[in-house]
Homo-oligomer: A and B are copies of this chain.
Amino acid sequence: MSSQKPKVVISERTIGRLSLYRRLLNDLQAQGERNIYSHELAAMIGGTAAQIRRDLMAVGYSGSPTHGYDIRELVLSIGNFLDAPHMQGVALVGVGNLGRAIMAFFSGRRPRLAIAAAFDNDPYKINRVIHGCRCYGIEDLSRIVQEQGLEVGILCVPSQAAQDVAERLVRAGIRGILNFAPIPLRVPANVYVEDIDMTMSLEKVAYFGRQHANKEGLK
């Protein structure tokens, strides 16, 4: 029953890349490809073949020296490894510009990991259905999360509200939070938080864009 847990702990980087591999492999499969070598996949993502083979050790699927990896089987194996055995519902809090864009983005994309309910404190939004998803008041968060067994939260409220909403999510039983609010959240150690900090990312691009440009000038 508890045999599905990984023997070794797999790094965050590897989990992220596996998600990416799967998406690319899905596209290839849709185009009718059947097999792929590690170096081909590496070329697609701009990485090394060794990295890919190392990552795939985690999922425990073996390729063949002569045909590489069977794409269909590999996709299934990655899914087996990455996905929960059950469906995981997602709660999104903060139905502003960004929240609605995220709802649109994920709408219909991954049926087993879909946004099941949205929450906001604007009475004008409550009970509306946005991108196929019902919007509730914050006061209903705990009840809905528990009724629907939602496990993952997406946080796109303004910074000032973020910590408070994060705590509500945790109390409601959420185990992982995707945080778009540009402040660090304080949550218990058994809750996983992934930050998407667009300001930080944009500043990185501005900084390294300059650096790289310089580099070329020197070469």
Encoded as 1 (CB less than 8 Å from any B CB) or 0, chain A from 193 to 219 comes to 110111111111111111111111000
Partner of A97, one of B105, B110, B199, B214: B105
Chain B neighbourhood of A24, CB < 8 A:
183-184
- Decide: A216 and B204 in contact? CB cutoff 8 A: no
Say yes or no: B15 contacts A207, CB within 8 Å. yes
**Contact present for B208 and A192 (CB under 8 Å):** yes
A209 to B206, CA, bound (A): 32
**A70-120 contacts to B (CB < 8 Å):** 82-84, 88, 90, 96-98, 100-102, 104-106, 109-110, 113
Contact-size category for A: 35 or more
Residue among A104, A197, A212, A215 having the largest count of chain B Cβ atoms under 10 Å: A212
Q: Are A90 and B182 in contact (CB under 8 A)?
A: no
> Shortest CB–CB separation between residue A78 and chain B, in angstroms?
10
Stretch from A32-40, A61-69, A141-149, A172-180 that touches the partner: A172-180
Residue of B nearest to A99 (CB): B101
In the complex, what's the smallest C-beta–C-beta distance from A96 to chain B, in angstroms?
8
Count of chain copies: 2
Known: A16-B204, A97-B101. 18 other contacts (CB 8 A): A12-B204, A15-B208, A16-B203, A23-B182, A84-B206, A98-B102, A101-B101, A106-B198, A110-B199, A110-B202, A110-B203, A113-B202, A175-B209, A175-B210, A189-B212, A190-B212, A192-B205, A193-B205
A-B contacts, 24 listed (Cβ < 8 Å): A12-B208, A16-B200, A16-B203, A20-B197, A83-B206, A88-B206, A96-B101, A97-B104, A97-B105, A98-B104, A100-B101, A101-B101, A106-B202, A109-B199, A152-B202, A152-B205, A175-B210, A175-B212, A176-B206, A176-B208, A189-B212, A194-B201, A194-B205, A196-B198
- Report the 5 A-B pairs with minimum CB-CB distance, sorted nearest first: A176-B209, A175-B209, A190-B216, A176-B205, A101-B101
